[in-house]
Structure 1
Amino acid sequence: MAATRAIAVASNTTASCLLFKNPFLSKHTPYNTSLRFRNLRASCPAKRLFTCRAIYNPEVQIKEEGQPETLDYRVFFVDNSGRKISPWHDIPLSLGNGVFNFIVEIPKESSAKMEVATDEPYTPIKQDTKKGKLRYYPYNINWNYGLLPQTWEDPSLANSEVEGALGDNDPVDVVEIGDSQRKIGQVLKVKPLAALAMIDEGELDWKIVAISLDDPRASLVNDIDDVEKHFPGTLTAIRDWFRDYKIPDGKPANKFGLGNKAANKDYALKVITETNESWAKLVKRSVHSGELSLA
């Protein structure tokens, strides 16, 4: 049985592409004004952050196929005409003024390990598997968890600031610390507050700590120190949860770089900038995509 529901994408523009200014560089460059996969204009300077607005309407539909907690279950994103789109590639990253779109994969207080299927056409959300069996966390995750669209952790890039670890070949993860439990596939406007550099079996797996703008306490938190003040113990709890969640399965604890501490908002924005640039190279096919779907 399939079900369809509408969700608001945090965007109210109709342009096909956005000029997104890199907060760490002095200029900005337009990405292609029609198709996501064309080359950048030859006259554009290199290493500029951009994000393509492939969504023309302010709402997309969520279409569920199959039954939850089965191998066939998929959550697809479709536009208002019914055309399937990719939550990873087609939903814009930046809304300007330090606000970004965040796609919920795993609602807080749940344990099914849902994730965008980066190797399937249109990259729907599905439940992860191992040896043909559905995967669950050993205990509920205490925050809404998901991804930043139009980001990618390049597995060919070694991060000199984080023990030379290579990217994990996935979009950047977000831990949203607001009070409300969200729904799978929901798109929220969030502001980054901090970043944790998790190292999972040698791969760098960034966790951006953020809060949805519609949370009652969102106006109180704008950087890492505010998180400690208004959400005391949360950053430590997030680090410890992700450090330990594989231990019940007999695996070693995950490690963290950057002195085992969370970095501030500016560093989180730097991570978003760099991984957006990596995504841009991926969809332009400037780097090898392997089994990743670019549709």
Structure 2
Amino acid sequence: MLTATITTQQGRIDKVLPQLFPQYSRSQFHRLIKSGAVTVNGNVPRAKDQVRQGDLIQVTEPAPVHLDLQPEDIPLDIVYEDDDVLVVNKPQGMVVHPAPGHPDHTLVNALLYHCPLSTINGTYRPGIVHRIDKDTSGLLMVAKTDRAHRSLAAQLKAKTNIREYTALVHGNIREDHGTINAPLGRNPKNRKQQAVVPGGRPAVTHFTVVHRYGDYTLIKCQLETGRTHQIRVHMKSIGHPLAGDPLYGPRKTLAGNGQFLHAGKLGFTHPVMGKQLIFTAPLPPVFEKTLAQLDKRGRIQ
């Protein structure tokens, strides 16, 4: 049972609940409200009901769902592990969790073979606190217990994590650094894409130029938010799409295995020890090789 008393929070209860309990999303709370698992002062509310100062909120958490996934003996590049958390360096080309079209051979299948995972995210996303795209490589934090999952999710919500990406983009970025603050949502003209849209979810990306190659620029990106395809869409929105990006980039681009985007630095506070942990992962070989070619020839046709 989760319990909280409204102090300064305002607005609809379905919007306030994720602020109080960030381990659950707004859509999850919609389902919990509909099922009667949420009460306000002992009464079951509607999702649109407003909260008031002093309201007692109680949430009956759903029972853990039995995982019906097949553990698979797939090699993992584990950067750190203890009884509570695990940090893994995901290779480019691996899907994080099962979904339509990708029922197996995912990171979750590999993790389940390796160790027990938290159950908060349900059947298909056990242990997964945050995701990166299939063709993005790099570091992910994974929760092995529900306690760890709640802590890591709360840190993401509070924006206290460190998430730094290396990206290679088209064009010559003149500024040495910048911030893109543009709301993101589903592209109304292409449901497979995200786009900058009025009324979308807030999204903020900070970038710093590392090296200029003439037709391409190597940058570091730090995320304040973690929206779907955030870096890919934000960089496209300022005229510098990621090299190799099959969804948002131009047809004439660098050969590789998808977008040149790597989650190279990850930091968080350990959910039990309270210690700040920071990890790094080197660029994958195809990324390093491409940069060496660009450095040698100035550009690749």
User: Relative contact order (alpha carbons < 8 A, sep ≥ 6): 1 or 2 greater?
Assistant: 1
TM-score (norm 2): 0.28
TM-score (norm 1): 0.28
Q: Which has more helix, going by share of residues? A: 2
